[in-house]
Structure 1
Amino acid sequence: MRLLNRLNQYQRLWQPSDGAPQEATIAELAARCFCSERHMRTLLRQAQEAGWLHWQARSGRGKRGVLKFLVSPVMLRNQMMEQALNKGHQHDALELAQLAPVELRALLHPFLGGQWQNNTPTLRIPYYRPLEPLHPGFLSGRAEQHLAGQVFCGLTRFLQDSSQPQGDLAHHWEISADGLRWQFYIRSTLYWHNGDAVTTGQLKARLDMLLSLPALRRLFASISRIEITHAQCLTFILDRADYWLAHRLASYCSVLAHPEHPAVGTGPFCLKIFGPELVRLENHDRYHLTHPLLKAIEYWITPLLFEQNLGTSCRHPVQIAIGEPEELSQLRLVSNSISLGFCYLALRQSERLTQAQAQRVIDIIHHTALLQTLPLDENLITPSQELLPGWAIPPASRETNTPLPPALTLLYHLPVELHTMAQQLKTALAAEDCELKLVFYDAKNWEGCTSLPKADIIMGDRLIGESAEYTLEQWLRCDPLWPALLSEAQFSRLQLTLDEAQRHPDDDQRCAALKQVFDSLMSQGILTPLFNYHYRVSAPPGVNGIRLNTRGWFDFCSAWLPASIR
C-alpha cells in the first residue's frame, strides 16, 4: 500500500504539465498531494534521493521553486514492480499493475512467463478467474483439480504415461487373496510442508475425515474400516472386494492434507499465498519423490486483462499461454492433445420423452451437420465419435421419422460452449415442431441443482482424469446426475452392476464390464457424448519440460528454465 501511495503522489505531481518542468510553491504541491507542507518537503526530498525528480527551492515565503521530472510514472511503476518481486512482495506488484488497467498488458509483459527473479526460477501464469479454495473431496474446476495434485499427495498416485496407480505416500501395498484386506506401507521419510514429520495416525485421521463426506462415502462404499496395523502400515478392511481401491486413492479427491491444517500437504509444492489476485506455490524442500526444478509457480489473477481484450494469455480454460502474448506468433505451441473428457447430453425417458424420441434427438445431433457447424473457434472443439477410444457411439436408429414431443426442457451448466450448443439444438428441434425451453444452471457441476429432476434433456461437462475408465466409474457412483436422471429401480441396478464389476481383479475384465454399462446407456438413448476439447499449452522460448496431462495442464515438477532466459 505504501508503494501505491507513493506512485499516486508522483502521478499527481506529474499530471499538470505531463512531465514538463514546473514552477510551483510548496503549498500548491501539498494541495495536489493532499498533505501538509512539511510532509510535502519530506516527499520531495525522498523522491529526489531516489532519482525520480529534481526540486530546486527558492528562498522567500511564497516563492516558486522549479520541479523537474527524471522518470515517467510508467517507468517508475515498472521499477516498483520489479523491486517488489525481488523482495517477494507479489501482492504489492499486482496492486501496482491494477492501478492502470488500460496499460495492464504492457505492464505485465516483462514479469510474466518464466524468468529467474532474484536468483529464483519462477514461472508466472496469468489466469482469467480467481481459483476456488482447495477443500477436501471433489473440486469442480480443472485448474483446482490439477493444483490439488501439486500441493497434496495421496497414498497412491498416477504417472503421466500410465493409467495404473503407483505408490506415493505409501511405498507399496499388498492385497489379500479375497480382495477384502489392503495393506498400504507408508514411507518413513515423509514431511508436511510446515516441517513436521508425517505420522500414520495423521494420515488415518485425514482419511476418516474424507470418508465422513457424503460424496466420498459413496466412492468408498466398500470400506468397512481403516486400521493402523503397524507404525508404518494402514490396513483397509472391505466388506466387498473393490479392485478400484488403489485408483480411488490416487484420485485428486482423495489427496491428504494435514488433519489440523487443511492448507498444509506433502506434495512437491506448498501454498505460500492463496488469494483472489495471486496464488503462489514454492517447492517443498523435503518432498519424498523427484524434486521440482522450479522454485516457484505463480498464478496472476488478472480478469481485467481478459475483460478488456488486452491479452490472450488464457482466453479459455483449455488453452493456456504461459506469459502474456503480445502477438500469438511470439509464443510456441509446446503441447497439444484432444481431451478424453467430453461435453455430454443425457435424456430422461418418461411419458413426455420415449426411448424412440430420445434416440431421435441423438440422431439429430450426431447424424446431421449440427455439431460440425457450431459457431465456435475452430481450434477449440472436435465432435465426439466415441465415448472413449474404442467405445463407439451406437449407429443411427432405424426409426428416423419418430415425431418429437411438442415441448421439452433442456437444463445445462458450464462451460460456455454449451450456451451455443443449447441454442443450436433449440433451433434444430424447432424445425421438428418441438419447442425447447432452455434452463441454465450457473455452475460447473450439478451439486445443489434443484432443477435436475424436472429436466427432459441435460447437458454438462465430464472431466476425465489420469485413468479414463476409472474416472467414468467414479462419475456413475458419485455424480448427482444419475440418481436424478434414472428411476430408483434403474439407479439401484446400476450400482449393483458397478459393485459386480469392481470385484474383478483383472483390469481388462473390470474395464470390459464398465464398457458394457456405458454401451447400454448409449444404446438406450440415455447418454451420448457431444464434443471433446483441444487442449493447448503455449509458452515463450526458454520454458521447457512442458507436457499436457489429461486435465489440460502440465506437471509443474517437470518444467524448467535455463539461467539465460532473461
Structure 2
Amino acid sequence: MRLVNRLNQFQRLWQPSAGEPQRVTVAELAERCFCSERHIRTLLRQLESAGWLRWQAQAGRGKRGDLTFQVTPEQVRAGMMEQVLNRGQHKNALELAQLAPDQLRHLLQPFLGGQWQNDTPTLRIPYYRPLEPLTPGFLPGRAEQHLAGQIYSGLTRFDDDGELPVGDLAHHWRISQDGLCWDFYLRSTLHWHNGKPVETQQLQRALQSLLADREIARLFASVAHLEVVHAQCLRIRLHRPDYWLAHRLALYCSCLAHPDEPDIGCGPFRLARFEADLVRLESHEFWHLSHPLLKAVEFWITPQLFDREMGNSCRHPVQIAIGQQDELVHLRPVSNSISLGFCYLALRREGKLSLAQSRYLIDLIHRSGMLDTLPLDEGLITPSSEMLPGWRLPEWEPDETALPASLTLVYHLPVELHAMAEQLKRYLADKGCELTVHFHPAKTWHGCQRLGEADLVMGDRLIGESPAFTLEQWLRCDNLWPHVLTARQFAHLQGTLDAVQRQPDETQRREGMREVYTMLMQDAAITPLFNYRYQVSAPPGVNGICMNARGWFDFTRAWLPPPGTQ
C-alpha cells in the first residue's frame, strides 16, 4: 500500500527530532529512509507538495538544508484513514491503524460508532476477537449466531417478541390434521445476495444439506423427507408429529445458504468482507421484508482496544459498546437486560455422588454465598435460582451429607467459570473433598476427551428466542446429556420430549418442558448458577438499538440521522 509506505517514510524523517526543525544533509535523510539520494529528493518534493513538510536545500554537495514539519504523523494518519474510508478501502484503514497500536484507541475514536461515509450510513463496532466462519449449522459464539441470523434467512423466523415463529422465506404454512405434513408457501419475491431469484429446489437442497449434519439431524429427528410440490411450495413430511417444527426452522442454525455458494444467503445483509481484522455486512437491496436504513455494518477486530489496564471499550463480551469509552459521557447505555441464558452445573447421575450428596452440593452452592463472592466485575452476573423465570429450583430439607473424598470437575468457557471452579474447589476442600479440575478451552463440548470421566460439569447455555423451545433443543442436541444421565434415563428423556412435541397447543408444550426441567432439578442432575447482565452502549446519534435475546440488536432496526439533522 503506497500510503502506508509514504507514512512510514515520513515517520522516519520525523522521529530524530520529534517534529522539531532539522538541519540535515540529503545523504543523512537517504540513510534514514533506506533509499538513494535521488529517491529522497523525489520523496521530499512529494511530501512538500502534499503539505506535510517544507524542505529548503542549500547549494553544494554535502551542505545541510532546513527541514520543517507542517503536520504530525498522527494528523497524516487520521487524514489518510478518512480518505481511504471514503473510498471504501477498509482494509487499508486498518493497516494504517495498526501502525500505531499504542495510540490505536485514540486513532480509531472518530471512525467508530455511527458514521456517514459517501452518503452511506455505516455502523462500526469494535470487537475483541476474530470471528469464527459463519457456516450454516450450529455456531458456538453469540456474535456468530447473531450475524448468521442477519445474513441468512430461514423458512420461518421468530416474531419481534422472540416467542413465536412467523413467516420468513415462507409467507405462511399449513399443517395437515394428523400433524405429519407441513406445506410451506414461499414468497414470490425471493432473491439471493447475488441478485438471482431463489428457486424452491435450491431451498430443498439447502435444507437437505443441513439435515445431513449429525447434530442438526438430532434437532429434526422427526423429518421423513422433503419434496417440492409446486414452484412456490415446499413440503416437509414427518415420521411423527412435531409441533415444534416451525420453531426449529426459525433457529439461526436452520437458516438456509445457497446450496452451491455457502457464503450467499438471502437475509437483510450480505457478507461483503470476512477477514481476521474486518467483517463487513452490506444491506441486501432485494430483501423480501422491510429494508434496513443502515447500508453497512462493520466489525473492526481490534484486540488492542480491550487491554484491561488501558480501559476497555467493551468491559466484557456481554456488554457491547458501539464506539469508544475514552469519555464515558459520549456513550450511554441504550439497552440492558438479564440474560435468560445461564451458566450451569451438571452432576453425573451414575458416578460418585448419591442423590443426597448431589442435593447437598447444590445447597452448598446456593445457600453458602459462594456465588455472591465470586471475584468478578461488579454488575456482570446475577446469581440464579431459576432455570427460566418461574422455573424455580425445587426445595428439599437441608441435609449435610459427607461428600466423597475426591471429585472431578470438567468445565468450558466462559472465563467466569475459572473463578467459579476455584471457588468450588476451596469450598469442597473445607468439606474434606478434593476437587480435580480440568478446563476444556472451547465454548461447546466438541472434542472434550474428559467429559466421560467427570463427576461435575460446568458450562454456559445460551438462550435465544422462545426459551422453552431452546431448552428442548439443548436436551436433544447437546453432547452433555448422554454423559450426565444413565442410558436408561437419557432414553426416557428423549421419549418424554417426543411426547411433548406432539402437543399442538403451544402453552401445553411449554408446560411440558417446565415439568421436564423441574424433574431434572429435583433429581439434582442440573442447577443454574448465574445469569449475565447484557448491555449495549452507543454514542448519541445511533438510534433504534433494542436488545434481543442474545444480547445483540437487530441491525435492520438501527439507524443514523442524516448529517445536519441531529
TM-score (norm 2): 0.98
2:474 corresponds in structure 1 to 475
**Residues 178-217 of structure 1 mapped to structure 2, 5 A cutoff:** 178-217=178-217
**Residues 324-343 of structure 1 mapped to structure 2, 5 A cutoff:** 324-343=324-343
**Residues 26-425 of structure 1 mapped to structure 2, 5 A cutoff:** 26-307=26-307, 309-395=309-395, 397-425=396-424
Contact kept in structure 2, 1:163 and 1:466, CA below 8 Å: yes
**How much does 1:378 deviate?**
2.1
Q: Secondary structure at the match of 1:312?
A: coil
Whole-Å separation in 1 of the counterparts to 2:49 and 2:268: 44
**How much does 1:79 deviate?**
0.6
Q: Secondary structure at the match of 2:534?
A: strand
Whole-Å separation in 1 of the counterparts to 2:507 and 2:538: 38
**How much does 1:493 deviate?**
1.1
Q: Secondary structure at the match of 2:179?
A: coil
CA offset digits 1:355-407 (Å, max 9, x no partner): 11111110001122111221212211111121111111111x32512110010
Whole-Å separation in 2 of the counterparts to 1:308 and 1:382: 22
Change (3 A) 1:298 1:351: closer
Q: Which moved more, 1:551-560 or 1:58-67?
A: 58-67
Whole-Å separation in 1 of the counterparts to 2:13 and 2:532: 51
1:539 corresponds in structure 2 to 538
Q: Specify the code of the residue in structure 2 equivalent to 1:451.
A: R
**How much does 1:351 deviate?**
4.7
**How much does 1:478 deviate?**
0.3
**How much does 1:81 deviate?**
0.8
Whole-Å separation in 2 of the counterparts to 1:287 and 1:37: 58
Whole-Å separation in 2 of the counterparts to 1:231 and 1:351: 55
Q: Which moved more, 1:436-445 or 1:24-33?
A: 24-33
1:497 corresponds in structure 2 to 496
Contact kept in structure 2, 1:501 and 1:514, CA below 8 Å: yes
Whole-Å separation in 1 of the counterparts to 2:56 and 2:197: 62
2:555 corresponds in structure 1 to 556
1:460 corresponds in structure 2 to 459
1:440 corresponds in structure 2 to 439
Q: Specify the code of the residue in structure 1 equivalent to 2:145.
A: Q
Whole-Å separation in 2 of the counterparts to 1:2 and 1:405: 67
Runs of 5+ unmatched residues, structure 1: none
Contact kept in structure 2, 1:105 and 1:311, CA below 8 Å: no
Whole-Å separation in 1 of the counterparts to 2:511 and 2:308: 49
Q: Specify the code of the residue in structure 2 equivalent to 1:501.
A: V
Q: Which moved more, 1:55-64 or 1:124-133?
A: 55-64
CA offset digits 1:133-179 (Å, max 9, x no partner): 01121000000000000111000001231400000001100000000
**How much does 1:297 deviate?**
0.6
| RMSD of aligned alpha carbons | 1.2
Q: Secondary structure at the match of 1:372?
A: helix
Q: Secondary structure at the match of 1:433?
A: coil
Change (3 A) 1:308 1:42: farther
Whole-Å separation in 1 of the counterparts to 2:212 and 2:433: 45
Whole-Å separation in 1 of the counterparts to 2:305 and 2:114: 19
Contact kept in structure 1, 2:349 and 2:486, CA below 8 Å: no
Contact kept in structure 1, 2:381 and 2:533, CA below 8 Å: yes
Whole-Å separation in 2 of the counterparts to 1:311 and 1:132: 25
CA offset digits 1:42-61 (Å, max 9, x no partner): 21121111111112223332
Whole-Å separation in 2 of the counterparts to 1:464 and 1:132: 19
Change (3 A) 1:310 1:273: farther
Q: Secondary structure at the match of 2:458?
A: strand
Whole-Å separation in 2 of the counterparts to 1:265 and 1:349: 43
Contact kept in structure 1, 2:313 and 2:326, CA below 8 Å: no
Whole-Å separation in 2 of the counterparts to 1:118 and 1:379: 40
**How much does 1:538 deviate?**
0.7
Q: Secondary structure at the match of 1:272?
A: strand
Q: Which moved more, 1:547-556 or 1:40-49?
A: 40-49
Change (3 A) 1:251 1:283: same
Whole-Å separation in 2 of the counterparts to 1:141 and 1:228: 34
Q: Specify the code of the residue in structure 1 equivalent to 2:318.
A: V
Whole-Å separation in 2 of the counterparts to 1:54 and 1:377: 52
Whole-Å separation in 1 of the counterparts to 2:282 and 2:336: 26
Whole-Å separation in 2 of the counterparts to 1:307 and 1:540: 21
Q: Which moved more, 1:348-357 or 1:221-230?
A: 348-357
Change (3 A) 1:92 1:41: same
Contact kept in structure 2, 1:128 and 1:315, CA below 8 Å: no
CA offset digits 1:531-561 (Å, max 9, x no partner): 1110101111111110110000000111111
CA offset digits 1:436-494 (Å, max 9, x no partner): 11111100011111111100000000000111011000000000001122121111111
Contact kept in structure 2, 1:412 and 1:459, CA below 8 Å: yes
CA offset digits 1:20-46 (Å, max 9, x no partner): 222222222111111122222221121
Whole-Å separation in 2 of the counterparts to 1:302 and 1:429: 40
Q: Indicate the percent of aligned positions where both proteins have the same amino acid.
A: 64
Q: Specify the code of the residue in structure 2 equivalent to 1:488.
A: A
TM-score (norm 1): 0.98
Whole-Å separation in 1 of the counterparts to 2:10 and 2:180: 71
Contact kept in structure 2, 1:136 and 1:210, CA below 8 Å: yes
**How much does 1:17 deviate?**
1.5
Whole-Å separation in 2 of the counterparts to 1:235 and 1:46: 67
Q: Which moved more, 1:188-197 or 1:30-39?
A: 30-39
Contact kept in structure 2, 1:134 and 1:144, CA below 8 Å: yes
Q: Specify the code of the residue in structure 2 equivalent to 1:431.
A: D
Q: Secondary structure at the match of 2:371?
A: coil
Q: Secondary structure at the match of 2:285?
A: coil
2:22 corresponds in structure 1 to 22
User: How many pairs does the alignment contain?
Assistant: 565
Does 2:487 align with 1:488?
yes
Change (3 A) 1:505 1:460: same
Q: Secondary structure at the match of 1:44?
A: helix
**How much does 1:66 deviate?**
2.0
Contact kept in structure 2, 1:280 and 1:297, CA below 8 Å: yes
CA offset digits 1:317-367 (Å, max 9, x no partner): 110111011133431110000100000000002351111111111000112
Q: Which moved more, 1:385-394 or 1:171-180?
A: 385-394
Whole-Å separation in 2 of the counterparts to 1:431 and 1:67: 72
**How much does 1:414 deviate?**
0.6
Q: Secondary structure at the match of 1:109?
A: helix
Contact kept in structure 2, 1:408 and 1:434, CA below 8 Å: yes
Whole-Å separation in 1 of the counterparts to 2:180 and 2:53: 77
Contact kept in structure 2, 1:105 and 1:310, CA below 8 Å: no
Q: Specify the code of the residue in structure 2 equivalent to 1:499.
A: D
Whole-Å separation in 2 of the counterparts to 1:116 and 1:498: 50
**How much does 1:65 deviate?**
2.4
Change (3 A) 1:300 1:311: farther
